Amino acid sequence: MNFYQPMVMKDTPMRDVKLALEVEPKFWSEKPKVKIEFNQQVLFEDYLEETKKFNWTLPAKDINRLSVFFLNKTEQDTVGDKDKAIIVKSIGIEGFQYSSFMLQSKYCPIYTNGYRRHAKENNLSTDPIINSNYLGFNGEWYLEFTWPIYQWIFETETKGMGWIYEKNI
Amino acid sequence: MPNSKIFCNIPWFELNINNDGSFDLCGCQNDKILGTPLGQVWNIKKMSIEEYWNSPRMKEARLIKLGEILDPMCRMCQLKDELGYESPRRKENMKSLIFLDSFERSYRQSPNLSRFQYSENNQGVTETTVHSLHINLGDRCNFACRMCNPYFSTPLQREWKELGWIKPTTNFDHWSDDPVGWANFMGYLERHPDSIRVMHIIGGEVAFIPKFDFLLNYLVEKDMAKNINFSFTINGSVDYTKYFDKLAKFKRTEIGISIESIQPIGDYIRQKGRIKSIMSNIEKLKKERPNNMSLAIRTVPSILSLPTYASLIKWCYELGIPIDNSILVGPVWQQAKLLPNNLKQKVIEEVSAIFDILPKTENKEFNNQKDPHKIDVSIRNECESIIGLAKVPAPTDAEQLRKTCAEKLNQWDKLKKINLKDYSAELYEFLSAYGYEGHTNA
């Protein structure tokens, strides 16, 4: 049998994933409110007063989604240089913290009407999905990854190389 | 669950064919059966690759990797692991997506878990086929490197016989010249055209090995090249651009270039080499290579090369070519740990100075040392490895081994009519205290 021919994976009792997340609040008046979900299950929902680090071991599906929702921003929260935001500082998966994880993440800002007008006048982007770990609007930041997680980590880290590991063929 | 310090997935997919046709596990293995009576039993001249693949020797090799006892044949990886360096085992296990830094969890998720479990439950048998071949294709070479041995170099065969280091009758017949051996090899390729994904060729110097050209042409003509990651090691002495058209047809190619130092001592270590000319050839390779080709500098740090290693690291970094060293297991009398403390300290200071100016990098745990896209990581790893090597204390029998080193080099240099002092004043000063004289005109 070819080494790379797919074999049926026995379902192991360890179908879980170790996740770490660090989020930092930015505010000058009201604290930002955050909700963190994994595969639509709420892990945390509260106001953030200081940087918070989370560590979880969670059951994994074939496709997984870690989400950070910013819930309580209003147009009045941005005044001059003052802002209210949530910054996703780091993501760890299985104990690894690679910058490629952050590069895979997406952010769907819910732009305010005021910002849309401002963006139109100044030719700024209002793309529905952007790459940013600075959550300056309400909306969802998320990272999707697949199972087996080590395959996803490897492929994410070695994009384009394909030298060491080849997927089953 | 296997032991994370022992497990290696090599016996499930790779095969090493030595100069005499004997089979071994991998290129990094010490105590190969090359040239031994056992090597005549487990030999491509005597059996097909399929027969060997599930032979008692291979079954035992798999069970050792699944067990609790360190494999005595894998000292190089064990030494590298101890130094915290990128051992080949670490990289090889990535082929099964097993991360040594998260061994248990990644092992359980490995796409090859069922294969390992199958072997565990069937006395080491595997239902896989070889997909990676590590082949010595010939011993013809134009160099006579100090840390090499006659199985890899025709000039060394002559010199070692003259020096009396091997018997005049020692046989160096190569398996690739044997009709049965060659037929068994080519037969495997014909029967399994789709299963070979990795092929690594060593010599000799491939440019002087006719079978290298033959194999290259075969893989291209049979349209196998497009699936194969093809790599080989060269000494950098000739123009290799003539192979580029064919090499461009492979899925990926990698050329490892063996050099030890960019200082004059480089020519002392790699006899018949001219380092300035080799450096130009490397720069030409870098400039003209096809898109699917990457380069790596392959070194074997030794008592002779370590004192000038910092300048080699610096040159590689500036050129953007990663370094991947192999720890010298033998000859013991050339091991870097025999250097005196003052020279070791110099190495530590010089390499640390390079290390300190390199950009800080993440992802040190998980890196292909030869990945040219991560040159900073590669060079940092190399610096750490060399600093670690220079910190290894001299063994208790260091004085005797230093004497052996001085005696051997003295004998060799008198035969060659050269003197170490013309290449390295510091090494001459060190070894002359142990009796080295070298060639003199008197």
Under the banding of pLDDT at 50, 70 and 90, the label for residue A14 is low
Kindly determine whether residue B195 and residue A164, on different chains, have CB atoms separated by under 8 Å.
no
Q: Are B377 and B367 within 8 A, CB to CB?
A: yes
Q: pLDDT tens digits, residue range B363-406?
A: 555 555 666 667 888 898 899 989 999 999 999 999 999 999 99
B chain contacts of residue A94, beta-carbon cutoff 8 Å: 99, 102, 105-106
CA distance B314 to chain A (A): 25
Residues B37-66: what's their mean pLDDT? 96
Q: pLDDT tens digits, residue range A103-118?
A: 999 999 999 999 999 9
A47 touches chain B (CB under 8 A): no
Residues B149-167: what's their mean pLDDT? 95
A163 touches chain B (CB under 8 A): yes
Q: pLDDT tens digits, residue range B224-260?
A: 999 999 999 999 998 889 999 999 999 989 999 999 9
Mutate to test the interface with A, among B1, B97, B121, B378 (most CBs of A within 10 A): B97
Cβ atoms within 10 Å, residue B419: 18
pLDDT surpassing 50 at residue A9: no
Q: What are phi and psi of A132, to 5 degrees?
A: -160, 140
User: Which pLDDT belongs to residue A165?
Assistant: 53
* DSSP run (H or E) holding B429: helix B425-432
Q: What are phi and psi of B138, to 5 degrees?
A: 170, 160
Q: What are phi and psi of A69, to 5 degrees?
A: -105, 135
Amino acid at A165: Y
Instruction: Work out the widest C-alpha separation in chain B, in whole angstroms.
Output: 70
User: Which pLDDT belongs to residue A169?
Assistant: 30
Kindly determine whether residue A165 and residue B112, on different chains, have CB atoms separated by under 8 Å.
no
In angstroms, rounded to a whole number, what is the distance separating the alpha carbons of residues A31 and B403? 73
Kindly determine whether residue B194 and residue A99, on different chains, have CB atoms separated by under 8 Å.
no
pLDDT surpassing 60 at residue A164: no
- Which residues 53-72 of chain A have a CB within 8 Å of chain B? none
DSSP-assigned letter for residue B418: -
A chain contacts of residue B119, beta-carbon cutoff 8 Å: none
User: Which pLDDT belongs to residue B91?
Assistant: 83
User: Which pLDDT belongs to residue B366?
Assistant: 53
Q: Any idea which of A84-98, B325-339, B349-363 has the lowest mean pLDDT?
A: B349-363
The DSSP secondary structure of B299-356, one letter per residue, reads E---TTTGGGHHHHHHHHHHHT--EEE----SSGGG-GGGS-HHHHHHHHHHHHHHHH
Instruction: Name the closest residue on chain A to residue B372, using Cα atoms.
Output: A161
- Which residues 178-197 of chain B have a CB within 8 Å of chain A? 194-195, 197
User: Which pLDDT belongs to residue B92?
Assistant: 87
Q: pLDDT tens digits, residue range B201-213?
A: 998 999 999 999 9
Under the banding of pLDDT at 50, 70 and 90, the label for residue A152 is very high
Structure token pair of residue B249: 């047809």
Under the banding of pLDDT at 50, 70 and 90, the label for residue A163 is very low
Out of A2, A18, A151, the one facing B131 most closely (by C-beta) is A2
Under the banding of pLDDT at 50, 70 and 90, the label for residue A2 is very low
Centroid of chain to Cα B63 = 25
pLDDT surpassing 70 at residue A161: no
Residues A141-158: what's their mean pLDDT? 91
Under the banding of pLDDT at 50, 70 and 90, the label for residue B185 is very high
User: Which pLDDT belongs to residue B35?
Assistant: 85
pTM to 2 decimal places: 0.83
User: Which pLDDT belongs to residue A128?
Assistant: 95
What Rg do the C-alpha atoms of chain B give, in angstroms? 22
DSSP-assigned letter for residue A41: E
CA distance A93 to chain B (A): 11
Q: pLDDT tens digits, residue range A53-68?
A: 999 999 999 999 999 9
Stronger pLDDT, A163 or B399, i.e. the higher one: B399
The DSSP secondary structure of B76-126, one letter per residue, reads HHHHHHHTT---HHHHHHHTTT--GGGHHHHHHH-TTHHHHHHHHHTTT--
Return the number of CB contacts < 8 Å for A and B. Answer: 100
B122 touches chain A (CB under 8 A): no
Complex prediction ipTM: 0.83
Structure token pair of residue B55: 């032979």
User: Which pLDDT belongs to residue A159?
Assistant: 66
Kindly determine whether residue B112 and residue A161, on different chains, have CB atoms separated by under 8 Å.
no
Residues B347-355: what's their mean pLDDT? 97
A164 touches chain B (CB under 8 A): yes
Under the banding of pLDDT at 50, 70 and 90, the label for residue B220 is very high
B chain contacts of residue A64, beta-carbon cutoff 8 Å: none
Ramachandran class of B229: left when φ > 0, alpha when ψ lies in -120 to 50, beta otherwise: beta
User: Which pLDDT belongs to residue A90?
Assistant: 96
Q: What angle do CA B330, B404, B30 make, to 5 degrees?
A: 10
Strands A139-146 and A106-109, by their bridges, are: antiparallel
Cβ atoms within 10 Å, residue B277: 12
User: Which pLDDT belongs to residue B63?
Assistant: 97
Q: What angle do CA A157, B93, B55 make, to 5 degrees?
A: 150
Q: Are B6 and B67 within 8 A, CB to CB?
A: yes
Under the banding of pLDDT at 50, 70 and 90, the label for residue A8 is very low
Classify A73 as helix, strand or coil.
coil
User: What average pLDDT does the structure give for chain B?
Assistant: 93
CA distance B14 to chain A (A): 10
A161 touches chain B (CB under 8 A): yes
Q: pLDDT tens digits, residue range B21-43?
A: 999 998 888 888 888 999 999 99
Kindly determine whether residue A2 and residue B94, on different chains, have CB atoms separated by under 8 Å.
no
A chain contacts of residue B91, beta-carbon cutoff 8 Å: 164
Out of A147, A150, A163, the one facing B368 most closely (by C-beta) is A163
Under the banding of pLDDT at 50, 70 and 90, the label for residue A15 is confident
B chain contacts of residue A147, beta-carbon cutoff 8 Å: 109
CA distance A127 to chain B (A): 31
Q: Any idea which of A84-88, B93-97, B148-152 has the lowest mean pLDDT?
A: B93-97
pLDDT surpassing 90 at residue A20: yes
The DSSP secondary structure of B142-173, one letter per residue, reads S-EETT--GGG-HHHHHHHHHHTSS-TT----
B362 touches chain A (CB under 8 A): yes
What Rg do the C-alpha atoms of chain A give, in angstroms? 19
In angstroms, rounded to a whole number, what is the distance separating the alpha carbons of residues B211 and B307? 37
Q: Which of B240, B271, B307 is nearest to B415 (CA)?
A: B271
pLDDT surpassing 60 at residue A168: no
User: Which pLDDT belongs to residue B271?
Assistant: 95
User: Which pLDDT belongs to residue A6?
Assistant: 42
Strands B252-258 and B293-299, by their bridges, are: parallel
